[in-house]
Structure 1
Amino acid sequence: MPDPRFAPLGEPGPAGPASAPPPPERPADAWAPILPAPLPLPKALRHRDHGVPSTVWRYLAADGALLFAVARFDTPAGKQVLPYCGGAGGWRWRAAPVPRPLYGLDRLAARLDAPVLVVEGEKTADAAAALFPDHAVLTWPGGCKAVLRADWTPLADRVVVIWPDHDEPGRKAAAAIAQAAGLAGAERVAVVTVPAEWPDGWDLADPPPAGTTVETLHTLVMAAVPVGGDDAADDADPDAEPDADPAADPHSPEQMQAEVARLAGLSGLDYQATRKAAAQALGIGVGALDKAVRVEQARRRAAAAEADRSRPPPGPGEVRWPFGFLMRDDGLHADTGGDDGLVWLAAPFEVLGEARDAAGEGWSLWLRWRDRDGRPHTWPMPHRLLMVGPGELEAALVERGLRVSPDLAARQLLRRALGEVQSGSRVMLVTRAGWHGGVGEATAYVLPDGTVIGEAAEALALRNTAEDAARRVATAGTLTAWQEQVAALAVGNPVATFCLAAAFVGPLLEIAGEDGGGVHLFGPSKRGKTVALKMASSVWGPPDKAGALRDWRATSNALEAACEEAADGLLTLDEIQQAEARGVEDSIYVMGNGGGKGRLRADTTARKRRTWRTFFLSNGEIDVATVAQKAGRRVPPGAEVRLPSVPLPADLWPDLHGRPDFQALCADLATAAIRQHGTAGRAFLAQLTRIRAEEADTLPTIITERRAAFLGAHVPAGADPQVREVARRMALVAAAGEIAAKLGVLPWPSEVATAAAATVLGLWRGRRGGDGSGEEAAHLAKVRLFLVQHGASRLQLLWLNQTTKELEEVLDPARPVVNRAGWRRRQPDGSDLYLIHPETWRAEVCEGLDATEVARTLLAAGHLEPGEGNRLGRKVAIPGFGKIRVYAVKATLMTPPEPEEKAA
């Protein structure tokens, strides 16, 4: 009798006279998924209700062709996982046709001999692939209720291990998968037993429970229970003799355990040669023996790994790789405990120590290796790169010339090795060049390319080096040749001598307790300003724009980076007239103050500010004030002190050293500096580090004594503090040159550098017009400039009528006074007394300044005739105005006094 459950649709059935009407047939042209997908996956996926997916997984065929995709949406109601298939005309949110392909078929096809690990969910599959690189990891679409809708036939002839989610649905799904795998012809199927105490619902994408290691997970996989319980019959060797009667088995459990332990200690080849005979002797199947041996080997590896982790920390100079990793002549290898032997991970490299900054942050691994051209590379590998996206760490290593295995599993092992390696050495990460070392500790100097001169309490490493840092401090030639061909030609030429001496100031700033500062040299073109600057640059590196010589034309960020790179060294800046006029004043303060602009990260936390202590030499055709005037700004006295502008004399190179003319001398100097550079700075630093280590008080004492002698000889008593500050900097240049000469770095007689510094100081003081404060000098200069520009054209001439004894205007029809600002009264001695109306005084003469303070400055300097009492203005009878109050400026203002020079 026909089964009523299969009655034809529309015929009477057991429940009634007729069943429900059949559903309408799908039209022949209805949309349907096509596998593989006929169109590429769209770059941007979006669901009408759920929006943009958080993750998209691609299901690929064995040959890598795209079959379909699965997208995850994190919605307020929870996660939603939807299939996305391609078909004629586009992609739609539809499920793939049954039976549905597995996720990971491309992995399966790429590793034909690897065991298969089946997990639940695409996210878990990706996590498991990283944890078990020796397995081909698979999952199926649709979750635990869709097991039987998947196509499990690719598991034929494969060893399959199933890792269920730690819950009842996961265990039921594992049982269904095991049955399906067996029907598909799998060689062996086993299910992992997840410890009962682990969290409910736990899977391999979740963080491991407390105390669980990767070795624990591998042990659980090795100990997976074969489907059907005892697998002795399933795993028996068909060529083996029938098992002996268990009652007559001569092996006790202890003897069996001892034999398994012996077999676990054999090499892979030796074990394969003896496994059949050993299984027969023990009376068990080969499969059961393999399992027992694997469990014992896993137990041993876990015990050995635990013992390795419990060892005391490595001592200084010792490097300890994590268990299972070893560095050989051909590179780093990993022993995974499998039959594949050692896995090559990367070319050989050294671990010099674990690095961090003074605050205990920025932990890194200080590495060193040679690239394929033999060039050495050192790099503080930030530990944070171990936690970011796949490939970033490996890409950084490869970019720096280290060969790394492209295999994904090998790269995961390399990350693990670098994350767990231990070093007993510590390295201090520093963010800038210059001196480093704590108070009372040994100090060392770090060059911009990371080269360390001297020995600090800990090894030093520069965290980030500029791309062109090595070029900027490159060396060429010898110190002796540089002394003969470059430094010796500065003698007799004070400005060149000053620049060379200034090149050695940077390393002395910290020793002298000084902040940074500099000097600007200006004068007409083709005088040799840049040649003198190149001579100074050659102390540290190539004297060109790709080397140690820099331009004023740079952004504020670039200038800060240059200052930090030249910390405790020399920064040379060429051609100030090319600088952005509006930013020159700010740049001077930034360079002199030793700190960059405060900035925020993307998360609004403060970035670490750049800091430095730098001596800078600048040149150009105009002075700093003129540059600022282009932007309508005035250089304040503070900026003038930080970068005083020194006018260059007409005869800048009085001693040509036997050359026929200045051009020949410049040509010889330029050629010599290109061939000989970078050696003097390193020689000077080597001497300073030795002296600081052996006689810490020597250098500060020398600098203090020489500075006091210089100031006493060249700065008059009562000079303004601003004058003394600039003179102190010139004194430091003198001391640097004398110390470098004393140490044999500069080939100069004694006092040559001191004389040059005194000459440059005299040039600056002479242009300044006195030794008063910068504000007072600015006041005098402002009024003097107005009188020079407008004295005859806007000040009406007055003369005293001897008959009437009254002032009268002297009118000249050929040169009438337009836009009158005041009057000029001719004095008996022939000089003029300038009478300026108070309104004009405030609005024009003293524009941008405090008009009252300017008047007080003129009165204190003897250039103003005051009024009665404490009044700065005096009343004068002006024709047509009567008696009005004016500012009476004497003609003595027009002749600035020469600077006083003390006898040596």
Structure 2
Amino acid sequence: MILAPDTAPDSFRHPHLGEPDQIWCYRDKHGKPFFYVCRFVSENGGKNIRPLSCWQDKTGKHQWEWKHLPAPRPLYGLYSLAWNPYAPVLVVEGEKTADAAQQLFPEMVVVTSPCGSDAAEKAIWDPFKGRDVFIWPDHDQPGREYADAVAEIALAAGANSVRIVEVPDEFPEKWDLADELPVGVTGSRIFQLVKEAHPFSKDQTKKDLPPVSPPDWPFRVDEQGVFKKVETTKAPGETKVEWIKVCSRLDVVARTRDSGGKSWGRLLAVTTREGQTNEWAMPMELLAGDGTAYRAELLKLGLEISPETRARYALHEYINDASPQEWARCVDRLGWHGQVFVLPNQTYGNGQDERVLFQVDRVSDDLFRVKGELEEWKEQIAKLCAGNSRLAFAVSAAFAAPLLHPASLEGGGFHLRGGSSIGKTTALQVAGSVWGGGGVNGYCQSWRATSNGLEAVGVAHCDTLLCLDEMSQINGQDAGQTAYMLSNGQGKSRARKDGTGRPPAQWRLLFLSTGELSLADKVNESGGRASAGQEVRMVDIPADAGASLGIFEDLHDFDSPAALADHLRLNSIQNYGSPARKFLERITTNPEHLTEQLRRARQEFLDKHCPRTADGQVTRVANRFALVAAAGCLATAMGILPWGGDEALKSAGTCFTAWLNQRGGFGSLEEQAGIEAVRRFIQAHGKSRFQSCNGDYDRPIINRAGFVRDGQQGREYLIFPETFRNEICKGMDSKRVLDHLKDRGLLIPDSTGRPARVVRLPSFDDPIRMYVLKNEILGESGDD
């Protein structure tokens, strides 16, 4: 037998049924035919389905025969499934329905299994691993049974999620997506049914069961709330039974604990007066006190607690003694945990048959909120970023934040530097709308607030984007320390009350910043000096794109930069949060494939923009830019960003080049900083601290740093080693600076190669060692 023949059959004519009315080709993941399914219509209108496959006989001869391949058989649509790894999957019944559904849902991959609704288990469903699967059943009992069977098989194959469309009862019997729409039903209604598809879980019947109650469980829970059975004895032999109300409806959904079997808790679900359900993973340690802390949090969530003292005790007892069947893992920070990604109110990815929850001692007031629709965000915000390198880069950076972990890269930031009112904050607002909003400044935060609560901010944004507006709000020393700690991803070590060490807070994030000064200038403003490590961790990008439009390059038919900025700002208030959630859904479906995609996309950027001879600092920064480019390309391929295929690569390349040009090339930043420090010192002090060896000075030199003389190769500056180490190279490695000067040919060593030469100088009886620098250290000026 041959699974993938080289050529199609010469004819599809059946010896008894004649020419087929329709032919469907089953292909492998490379597009090569597996086999064919043909439909024949007889004169009386009857229909026959026949498979046609290629077989090899004992002599090695290949021939097409009217019979099926043995099970398991490939899916119809496998080729599209392989070439669209992040697209959601729609399963229907039958090849004709699959073709029709593919026209209705071009953003999805539509598949079906061969041999009808009774043979779902005879198909190969392995390609569903990590995919989001939707199933549209035919509107009859066999269709519903097929949908249930496929749903169970898909979950067993490792599908990320499975949902079944609930076909309305008023639809005609046996109706499917290949039929004409029922009377009064629009295409929009069909799309809405898919959006409203119910999640399927093989454990869902178990999860719908009430908690297993302990013996003599005195509580009951219904729509009216939680009630406790209380028995009181009024006289010997006379017992009164009453049900007291404890609180409004509160369900204890699951027991929680961390991966180490500690930090136990309860997942609580509060049903508010408006019918909304709010969940909170409550640490059990809050039950240790009088309960004020946890009651306060439950009240925030909408729980109504009876004011009676006995009701408060009963609530304590109810939460403590409840025995839910479901179990969940708890975590105390956001972001990646294994192959799942945790946000405050939602978890993405496969949790290995149990939920993973964010558990904290108080209800978090986060900004990871959702408002508006993804399509509206794409049209009103993302579409207008195309052609504007800084905006497109900022949006791509938002998608890059959760990719730091899969790419095994350290955290870091990008700083948009430029004058006032050129659109820097607009870029931050647009990028922030990817993740959320709803705060006073949308998703953005101020540098001042971040520096005051640095560790809390870091943990609250782990593996996500942090937007910091206007660095001028803090002093230079704090700015440098904040940038370093945010990038480094670790807080300070602190002691517990008993003196033992508390584990330091940890995080991993990408941040965007704005300001009128660079980090180096801001640190210098406070009398300090920015280290190369700080500047590599927070990369400075000129915010002005150079088109005389501030941060913009393409106004997209708006009258002015201000008009476009206002449009983006207003729409970022109305549409936010959905892009990141859709992105998280996709990247958690197939982590192994994601890692390989990132590697290829990053390498493409590095091959184009960063030579292998570049300094290690440049390579580190280039890798971060490459991740941003890869993230933008990935979001574009997923249909989240409505851009051309190379928009993300172009914007990242433009911003990287802008950073590189102002930096001064691919060399070491410490090398440039050291040489620049020497140059600035000589230029700043000149004759005031450098005595002439030629005798042409007419005043005493106070705090002499060295001498200046005319040597054989031109003017030379002779510097005392102590001055060089303690003043010029303060805060730097003076030996490395000397090495850089020597490598550049700016230092004249002695005959043995040592950096200090033995020289004779005025007012010194004996020769002394000095560092001798050429006049070229001053660059083109050459003056004192």
Give the TM-score band, short-chain normalised. Answer: 0.5 to 0.7
- Cα distance in structure 1, aligned partners of 2:292 and 2:624: 51
- When residues 734 and 344 of structure 1 are mapped into structure 2, their CA distance, relative to the original with a 3 A threshold, is same
Kindly report which structure 2 residues correspond to 1:488-887, keeping only aligned pairs within 5 A, or say none. 488-542=383-437, 545-554=440-449, 558-649=453-544, 651=546, 652-690=551-589, 692=590, 696-791=591-686, 794-795=689-690, 808=694, 821-824=705-708, 833-874=716-757, 885-887=769-771
- Cα distance in structure 1, aligned partners of 2:438 and 2:755: 55
- Cα distance in structure 1, aligned partners of 2:429 and 2:505: 26
State the match for 1:456 in structure 2: 351
- TM-score normalised by L of structure 2: 0.65
Identity, % of aligned pairs?
36
Contact kept, 8 Å, 1:450 with 1:465, in 2: the verdict is no
Q: Give the CA deviation at 1:545.
A: 4.8
Kindly report which structure 2 residues correspond to 1:40-59, keeping only aligned pairs within 5 A, or say none. none
State the match for 1:890 in structure 2: 774
Q: Give the CA deviation at 1:643.
A: 1.9
- When residues 889 and 459 of structure 1 are mapped into structure 2, their CA distance, relative to the original with a 3 A threshold, is same
- Cα distance in structure 2, aligned partners of 1:852 and 1:387: 59
Indicate the SS of the match to 2:494.
Answer: coil
State the match for 1:378 in structure 2: 279
Q: Give the CA deviation at 1:832.
A: 5.0
| CA offset digits 1:791-843 (Å, max 9, x no partner) | 4665467xxxxxxxxx74566x8x998765445556899x8543434444334
- When residues 668 and 419 of structure 1 are mapped into structure 2, their CA distance, relative to the original with a 3 A threshold, is closer
| CA offset digits 1:367-395 (Å, max 9, x no partner) | 11222244432122333444422666555
- Cα distance in structure 1, aligned partners of 2:622 and 2:329: 37
Aligned residue among 214, 237, 261 for 1:360: 261
Q: Give the CA deviation at 1:528.
A: 2.0
Q: Give the CA deviation at 1:344.
A: 2.7
- Which structure 2 residue ranges, 5 or more long, are not aligned? 1-204, 232-238
- When residues 598 and 847 of structure 1 are mapped into structure 2, their CA distance, relative to the original with a 3 A threshold, is closer
- Cα distance in structure 2, aligned partners of 1:666 and 1:465: 40
Contact kept, 8 Å, 1:436 with 1:446, in 2: the verdict is yes
- Cα distance in structure 2, aligned partners of 1:702 and 1:741: 13
- When residues 532 and 477 of structure 1 are mapped into structure 2, their CA distance, relative to the original with a 3 A threshold, is same
Contact kept, 8 Å, 1:876 with 1:885, in 2: the verdict is yes
- Cα distance in structure 2, aligned partners of 1:477 and 1:823: 70
- TM-score normalised by L of structure 1: 0.57
Indicate the SS of the match to 1:445.
Answer: strand
- Cα distance in structure 2, aligned partners of 1:816 and 1:672: 68
Kindly report which structure 2 residues correspond to 1:303-452, keeping only aligned pairs within 5 A, or say none. 318=209, 319-322=211-214, 323=216, 324-336=218-230, 338-389=239-290, 394=295, 396-437=297-338, 443-447=339-343, 449-452=344-347
Contact kept, 8 Å, 2:369 with 2:438, in 1: the verdict is no
- Cα distance in structure 1, aligned partners of 2:605 and 2:448: 35
- Cα distance in structure 2, aligned partners of 1:839 and 1:343: 84
State the match for 1:220 in structure 2: none
- Which structure 1 residue ranges, 5 or more long, are not aligned? 1-313, 438-442, 798-806, 897-904
- Cα distance in structure 2, aligned partners of 1:383 and 1:845: 58
- Cα distance in structure 2, aligned partners of 1:561 and 1:742: 34
Partner amino acid, structure 1, of 2:564: L
- Cα distance in structure 2, aligned partners of 1:517 and 1:644: 8
- When residues 818 and 689 of structure 1 are mapped into structure 2, their CA distance, relative to the original with a 3 A threshold, is same
| CA offset digits 1:261-317 (Å, max 9, x no partner) | xxxxxxxxxxxxxxxxxxxxxxxxxxxxxxxxxxxxxxxxxxxxxxxxxxxxx9655
Indicate the SS of the match to 2:670.
Answer: helix
Cα RMSD of the aligned pairs, angstroms, is: 3.1
- When residues 784 and 547 of structure 1 are mapped into structure 2, their CA distance, relative to the original with a 3 A threshold, is same
Contact kept, 8 Å, 2:609 with 2:653, in 1: the verdict is yes
Q: Give the CA deviation at 1:543.
A: 7.9
Contact kept, 8 Å, 2:270 with 2:298, in 1: the verdict is no
- Cα distance in structure 2, aligned partners of 1:880 and 1:557: 55
- When residues 760 and 784 of structure 1 are mapped into structure 2, their CA distance, relative to the original with a 3 A threshold, is farther
- When residues 822 and 523 of structure 1 are mapped into structure 2, their CA distance, relative to the original with a 3 A threshold, is farther
- Cα distance in structure 2, aligned partners of 1:679 and 1:569: 14
- Cα distance in structure 2, aligned partners of 1:810 and 1:656: 62
Contact kept, 8 Å, 2:286 with 2:361, in 1: the verdict is no
Indicate the SS of the match to 2:371.
Answer: coil
- Cα distance in structure 1, aligned partners of 2:434 and 2:736: 46
Q: Give the CA deviation at 1:714.
A: 1.6
- When residues 789 and 654 of structure 1 are mapped into structure 2, their CA distance, relative to the original with a 3 A threshold, is farther
- Cα distance in structure 2, aligned partners of 1:391 and 1:840: 63
Indicate the SS of the match to 1:503.
Answer: helix
Indicate the SS of the match to 1:548.
Answer: coil
Kindly report which structure 2 residues correspond to 1:97-112, keeping only aligned pairs within 5 A, or say none. none
Indicate the SS of the match to 1:512.
Answer: coil
| CA offset digits 1:203-230 (Å, max 9, x no partner) | xxxxxxxxxxxxxxxxxxxxxxxxxxxx
Contact kept, 8 Å, 1:600 with 1:606, in 2: the verdict is yes
| CA offset digits 1:628-667 (Å, max 9, x no partner) | 3344433333323222333444624232223333223322
| CA offset digits 1:544-586 (Å, max 9, x no partner) | 6543101111365612111111111101112223224333333
Partner amino acid, structure 1, of 2:272: D
| CA offset digits 1:142-201 (Å, max 9, x no partner) | xxxxxxxxxxxxxxxxxxxxxxxxxxxxxxxxxxxxxxxxxxxxxxxxxxxxxxxxxxxx
Contact kept, 8 Å, 1:370 with 1:376, in 2: the verdict is yes
| CA offset digits 1:350-377 (Å, max 9, x no partner) | 2211112222222222111222244432
Indicate the SS of the match to 1:547.
Answer: coil
| CA offset digits 1:580-621 (Å, max 9, x no partner) | 433333323322222222223323344453222211112212
- Cα distance in structure 1, aligned partners of 2:265 and 2:223: 24
- When residues 675 and 521 of structure 1 are mapped into structure 2, their CA distance, relative to the original with a 3 A threshold, is same
Contact kept, 8 Å, 1:641 with 1:722, in 2: the verdict is yes
Indicate the SS of the match to 2:279.
Answer: strand
- Cα distance in structure 1, aligned partners of 2:570 and 2:711: 61
Q: Give the CA deviation at 1:671.
A: 2.0
- Cα distance in structure 2, aligned partners of 1:847 and 1:739: 45
- Cα distance in structure 2, aligned partners of 1:426 and 1:833: 77
Contact kept, 8 Å, 1:317 with 1:423, in 2: the verdict is no
Indicate the SS of the match to 2:598.
Answer: helix
Q: Does 1:480 align with 2:379?
A: no
- When residues 317 and 354 of structure 1 are mapped into structure 2, their CA distance, relative to the original with a 3 A threshold, is farther
Contact kept, 8 Å, 1:572 with 1:616, in 2: the verdict is yes
Indicate the SS of the match to 1:849.
Answer: coil
Q: Give the CA deviation at 1:450.
A: 1.9
